[in-house]
Amino acid sequence: MAIIFLNGCTSAGKSSLAKALQEQIDEPYLLLGIDDAFASLPQRSHNNPEGFFFDRDDRGLVRLNFGAFGLATLKAHHRAAAAIAQSGVNLILDEVILTPELRKDWGQVLKGLDVTLVGVHCDLAELERREKERGDRVIGQARGQFDIVHKDMVYDIEVNTSQISPEETASSIIDFLAQNPSRLALSQMAKTED
């Protein structure tokens, strides 16, 4: 079955876009995302060096980091997503690819599946405005992720949510899917990982 893989910074509008896609696309699609992986952990694994925690990267910017249990959780999440698609259910993934290791793991577990990789971009000023307005994010995450989530990614289609609604963005993705039956980004990205 088909996977629409949305990758972008926190507050880029991926969740709103995913819901708009679910409403507009003819076939039913389940929605699964990185926030589901976070929510599945026991509370004691949050803000914990074995689970997930915030620190600063070598640039001094806020980073969502993870320990051994956090990494194992993310990799299990990847495999659960692949299993859903392999069971015959269409899937929209709402993701933030934080490291090269996670990018490579996604490529491995989704190999051979019908995946459309969508780069979800948003201007930094708008990301930061949304991050503050939401009130449920660590301030500085968006800036910390801005230069890393799209690094070394290959996309089938890229969208920018800064100025257009989730519904308009969803329509552009659906139009792309209808006009481009072959998606090659995942296989192209896998070649660069070897």
Which CATH number goes with the domain that contains 12? 3.40.50.300
Question: Is 10 annotated in some ligand binding site?
Answer: yes
Q: Which of 102, 113, 109 is nearest to 34 (CA)?
A: 102
**Residue 60 in 3-state DSSP?**
coil
pLDDT at 60 over 90: yes
In a domain, 45, yes or no: no
Question: Is 33 annotated in some ligand binding site?
Answer: no
Give 171-184 pLDDT, tens digit per residue: 999 999 999 888 88
pTM exceeds cut of 0.85: yes
Q: Is 136 a catalytic residue?
A: no
Q: Quick one: pLDDT band at residue 194, thresholds 50, 70, 90?
A: low
Give 23-57 pLDDT, tens digit per residue: 999 999 999 999 999 999 999 999 999 999 999 99
How far is residue 85 from each of residues 6, 106, 182, measured CA to CA in Å?
A: 15, 13, 17
Q: By residue range, what is the domain housing residue 180?
A: 2-35+90-189
161 vs 54: CA distance, rounded Å: 26
In a domain, 44, yes or no: no
Out of 35, 36, 114, 123, which one is annotated catalytic?
35
In a domain, 53, yes or no: no
In a domain, 124, yes or no: yes
Number of domains within the chain: 1
Question: Is 9 annotated in some ligand binding site?
Answer: yes
Quick one: pLDDT at residue 74? 97
β partners of residue 55: 63
Question: Is 140 annotated in some ligand binding site?
Answer: no
Give 69-110 pLDDT, tens digit per residue: 999 999 999 999 999 999 999 999 999 999 999 999 999 999
Quick one: pLDDT at residue 191? 72
Encoding tokens for residue 169?
């963005």
In a domain, 114, yes or no: yes
Q: What is the mean pLDDT of residues 2-7?
A: 97
**Residue 160 in 3-state DSSP?**
strand
Q: Do 171 and 24 form a contact (C-beta atoms < 8 A)?
A: yes
In a domain, 55, yes or no: no
In a domain, 56, yes or no: no
Q: What is the mean pLDDT of residues 130-134?
A: 91
Work out the percent of the chain whose per-residue pLDDT is above 90: 89
pLDDT at 144 over 90: yes
Quick one: pLDDT at residue 27? 95
Q: Which amino acid is at 119?
A: G
Q: Quick one: pLDDT band at residue 188, thresholds 50, 70, 90?
A: confident
Quick one: pLDDT at residue 181? 82
In a domain, 154, yes or no: yes
β partners of residue 118: 6, 157
